[in-house]
Amino acid sequence: QVQVVESGGGLVQAGGSLRLSCAASGRTFSRYAMGWFRQAPGKEREFVAVISWSDGTTSYTDSVKGRFTISRDNGKNTVYLQMNSLKPEDTAIYYCAADSNFWGMTRGLAAYWGQGTQVTVSS
């Protein structure tokens, strides 16, 4: 079992940057794909990015490609989401998640979820 806790959210102006962190517990962290999702007010939760456990393969939703970068440090049981060139439409609660199925996460499926961290981008 994996438990995940997000941090690093906050308020930033459009064009700015934030880095989210997700600390995971559990000795098998390195065996799980890790991903980020977000939910904006009045909208459904959506997939943002995922990174594999084995070779660092990544996948992103189209709206963040070229602006967001997901990475992981298996030694620290931590996954990061570097967000650059932020836009007001990136405002949402960002959730970290873990699952053994990389491609399932791109469809919004994950076994373990964090509580979320708020990201607000002002115009």
**Whole-number pLDDT of residue 29:** 66
Q: How far apart are the first and last CA of the chain?
A: 40
Banded pLDDT at 27 (limits 50, 70, 90)? low
**Whole-number pLDDT of residue 74:** 85
Q: Mean pLDDT over all residues of the chain?
A: 94
pLDDT at 30 over 90: no
Burial 91-101, CB ≥16 within 10 A → b, else e: bbbbbbbbbee
**Whole-number pLDDT of residue 28:** 72
